[in-house]
Amino acid sequence: MAQVQRMSRLMVKTLRDDPADAETLSHKLLVRAGYVRRTAAGIWSWLPLGKKVLDNISQIVREEMDAIGAQEVLLPALLPREPYEASGRWEEYGDLLFRLKDRKGADYLLGPTHEEIFTQVVKDQCTSYKDLPVMLYQVQTKYRDEARPRSGVLRGREFVMKDSYSFDTTEEGLAESYALHREAYRKIFARLGLDYRIVSAVSGAMGGSASEEFLAPAAAGEDTFADCPNCGFAANTEAVTFKGAEVDGSAHGPVEELDTPDTPTIESLAEHLGVPASATLKNLLVKVDGEIVAVGVPGDREVDLGKLGEHLAPAVVDLVTAEDFEANPELVRGYVGPQGLKIRYIADPRVAPGTAWVTGANKPDTHARNVVAGRDFEVDDYLDVVVVEEGDPCPNCGQGLHLDRAIEIGHIFQLGRKYADTFQLDVLGQNGKPVRVTMGSYGIGVSRAVAALAEQTADDKGLCWPAEVSPADVHVVAAGKVLQTELALEIADKLAAAGARVLVDDRAGVSPGVKFTDAELIGVPKTVIAGRRSAEGIVELKDRRTGEREELSVEEAVARLT
């Protein structure tokens, strides 16, 4: 027997007006319908209805992770500094990291993601190749001091993530673990009822090779992805940029390797910039040995550009404009790849006069002169840069790209040996010799998915949940007095006995009109109304999405809904 939740006892206060600070649809509706309550900027309390949706999503995620053989664990959110120091991320994360001290003055952080700690756990628990492969996951609270947590639970400073990690001894093993996750994610997002696209992604602050994002197209999304209607290529625009730098001359005009006597290495560049060699940069223009070098690198928002800006201050004194570019066709564009710094001349069509070859900085279509990121403009403005524009050539087939906004709901990475190297994660191989482990990491924004679903499914009346995530299966409304309330409770019990999760609006002294409006705002997929014809045992069945209504006997209604 499933549960009957009476509205008369449910802690929910619906609001007629949008909260003043809300910009996105999901933010407005989740607050108005009483699902969440803002506690501080980017920090949210989950109220009973919201908690149900969050739990339903977590449950689906757990089932599909278990189905691929991943094991659930729970690691701490409060973490010691040392492992993050070892990986370089204590510094690299910059302002994004919540750092704190204990009573003895020792440094701690609130985990933004857990590669380091999982690597340590596996190093401790798995010693032989026979212990691998292993896949571990947790559904846990993460902390990131986001620059502008604006959009409700879409971008929290505290949020719930499912993160998982795979550990294999071979490349094929890693590819297999990655493929299993990719498949599990497809099932999860299909069950959630999300419209999503899988696009290739940059690997960002994680470091590593293959990486894809699961993006939910929505106007409120902060990511832009490019989509080729011709060949099916789809990538986050950040990734297209990187690919643009990587492809050979055919798509971008002539490409020449720059002939320099001492080609800078990652190490020498890092030293020059004063950052760890593991740092990832993004579209920074720097002078190296007096030469302007445009370094287009796979980047992520985690990189502490503010700090980087300080280090770069002497170098970033004279960034180029589109006109500079026009006047200096020999300007070099390069990128840091896995093999070191490669510098190439690229005659890029995006560098055509009048168009921005890289937009951003503090003004569209230009790069700023004499500015320092973090000091002279908001780091986030710079990082929200969209390099690719509508109609730009597809790096795959050359046809015009189409751009769309989307919400990043999941991200899968083949990390490789970055963290295994840091922590010397080896297991004894078949031949008795140690083998270095190779890793994958995989995330889903569980709390973000609540908002992403709201964005995609809500209409002008309110929320409108897909069946599996809805806080209830049926919303029964007593539209009248004693008789209607009795009938509503009777139907609720019958539905629950047949396995449906029921919300019943039995509130006394609340008008049917208010109850209907609330039901639409709350967004349970089916409504049963005990109204005018209650004495005859006739109720109305209403579909939240289509608004279609039908009169049925109580028995018919129960049979239809269970």
Positions touching ligand ATP (CB under 6 A) are: 113, 144, 146, 155-156, 159, 161, 222, 301, 408-411, 443, 445, 447-448
Cβ at position 139, least distance to Mg ion in Å: 17
Residue 151 CB neighbours (<10 A)? 22
| Residue from 182, 277, 199 nearest 239 by CA | 199
What CA–CA distances, in Å, run from 367 to 237, 356, 364? 19, 9, 8
Please report the sign of the dihedral spanned by the C-alpha atoms of residue 265, residue 367, residue 155, residue 67. Answer: negative
| Residue from 60, 21, 56 nearest 473 by CA | 56
Tell me which of ligand ATP, Mg ion, none is bound by residue 410, counting a contact when its beta carbon lies within the kind-specific cut-off of 5 to 8 angstroms. Answer: ligand ATP
Cβ at position 320, least distance to ligand ATP in Å: 27
> Using the rule CB under 5 A, which residue among 301, 448, 526, 544 binds Mg ion?
301
Cβ at position 523, least distance to Mg ion in Å: 28
Tell me which of ligand ATP, Mg ion, none is bound by residue 310, counting a contact when its beta carbon lies within the kind-specific cut-off of 5 to 8 angstroms. Answer: none
Toward ligand ATP, which CB reaches closer, 224 or 527? Answer: 224
| Strand ranges, E, within 183-330 | 197-200, 211-217, 223-227, 234-236, 255-257, 284-288, 291-295
Q: Which two tokens stand for residue 312?
A: 């770069």
Toward ligand ATP, which CB reaches closer, 157 or 344? Answer: 157
3-state secondary structure of 297: coil
Toward ligand ATP, which CB reaches closer, 12 or 160? Answer: 160
**How many Å is the maximal CA-CA distance in the chain?**
93
Toward ligand ATP, which CB reaches closer, 211 or 485? Answer: 211
Toward ligand ATP, which CB reaches closer, 148 or 363? Answer: 148
Cβ at position 23, least distance to ligand ATP in Å: 15
* SS percent in the chain: helix, strand, coil, step 5: 35, 25, 40
Question: Can you say how many angstroms the Cα of residue 248 is from the centroid of all Cα atoms in its chain?
Answer: 31
Whether the CB-CB separation of 199 and 235 falls below 8 Å is answered with yes
Cβ at position 233, least distance to ligand ATP in Å: 20
Q: What is the 3-state secondary structure (H, E, C) of 122-140?
A: HHHHCCEHHHCCEEEEEEE
Cβ at position 153, least distance to Mg ion in Å: 15
Q: Which two tokens stand for residue 36?
A: 């969440």
Q: Listing from the earlier edge strand, what are the strands of the sheet with 255-257?
A: 255-257, 340-346, 332-337, 291-295, 284-288
Cβ at position 90, least distance to ligand ATP in Å: 16
Residue 432 CB neighbours (<10 A)? 6
* Rounded Cα–Cα distance for residues 228 and 220 (Å): 22
Whether the CB-CB separation of 423 and 119 falls below 8 Å is answered with yes
Residue position matching structure tokens 């290495």: 265
Cβ at position 452, least distance to ligand ATP in Å: 8
Q: Is 89 in the site for Mg ion (CB under 5 A)?
A: no
Whether the CB-CB separation of 236 and 200 falls below 8 Å is answered with yes
Whether the CB-CB separation of 463 and 46 falls below 8 Å is answered with no
Q: Is 181 in the site for Mg ion (CB under 5 A)?
A: no
Cβ at position 155, least distance to ligand ATP in Å: 4
* Rounded Cα–Cα distance for residues 274 and 491 (Å): 69
Q: Is 411 in the site for Mg ion (CB under 5 A)?
A: yes
Toward ligand ATP, which CB reaches closer, 304 or 540? Answer: 304
Tell me which of ligand ATP, Mg ion, none is bound by residue 146, counting a contact when its beta carbon lies within the kind-specific cut-off of 5 to 8 angstroms. Answer: ligand ATP
Q: Is 515 in the site for Mg ion (CB under 5 A)?
A: no
Listed ranges 296-304, 333-341, 375-383, 534-542: which one lies at the site for Mg ion (CB under 5 A): 296-304
Tell me which of ligand ATP, Mg ion, none is bound by residue 395, counting a contact when its beta carbon lies within the kind-specific cut-off of 5 to 8 angstroms. Answer: none
Toward ligand ATP, which CB reaches closer, 194 or 476? Answer: 194
Toward ligand ATP, which CB reaches closer, 222 or 376? Answer: 222
Cβ at position 447, least distance to ligand ATP in Å: 6
Cβ at position 3, least distance to ligand ATP in Å: 29
Tell me which of ligand ATP, Mg ion, none is bound by residue 155, counting a contact when its beta carbon lies within the kind-specific cut-off of 5 to 8 angstroms. Answer: ligand ATP
Question: For residue 310, which amino acid is it?
Answer: E
| Residue from 467, 499, 519 nearest 10 by CA | 519
Toward ligand ATP, which CB reaches closer, 89 or 344? Answer: 89
Toward ligand ATP, which CB reaches closer, 21 or 555? Answer: 21
Cβ at position 70, least distance to ligand ATP in Å: 16
* Rounded Cα–Cα distance for residues 313 and 371 (Å): 8
Tell me which of ligand ATP, Mg ion, none is bound by residue 156, counting a contact when its beta carbon lies within the kind-specific cut-off of 5 to 8 angstroms. Answer: ligand ATP
Toward Mg ion, which CB reaches closer, 123 or 411? Answer: 411
Listed ranges 404-412, 421-429, 506-514, 547-555: which one lies at the site for Mg ion (CB under 5 A): 404-412
Listed ranges 251-259, 380-388, 409-417, 447-455: which one lies at the site for Mg ion (CB under 5 A): 409-417
Toward Mg ion, which CB reaches closer, 334 or 440? Answer: 440
Residues paired with residue 318 on neighbouring β-strands, in sequence order: 369
Cβ at position 138, least distance to ligand ATP in Å: 13
Q: Is 282 in the site for Mg ion (CB under 5 A)?
A: no
Residues 224-243: x where in contact with Mg ion by CB under 5 A, - otherwise, as a string: --------------------
Nearest residue to ligand ATP, scored by beta-carbon proximity: 445
* Secondary structure element (H or E) that encloses residue 539, with its range: strand 538-543
| Residue from 66, 54, 53, 197 nearest 136 by CA | 66
Q: Which two tokens stand for residue 72?
A: 């659930």
Toward ligand ATP, which CB reaches closer, 188 or 488? Answer: 188
Whether the CB-CB separation of 122 and 437 falls below 8 Å is answered with yes
Whether the CB-CB separation of 447 and 162 falls below 8 Å is answered with no
Binding site for Mg ion (CB under 5 A): 301, 408, 411
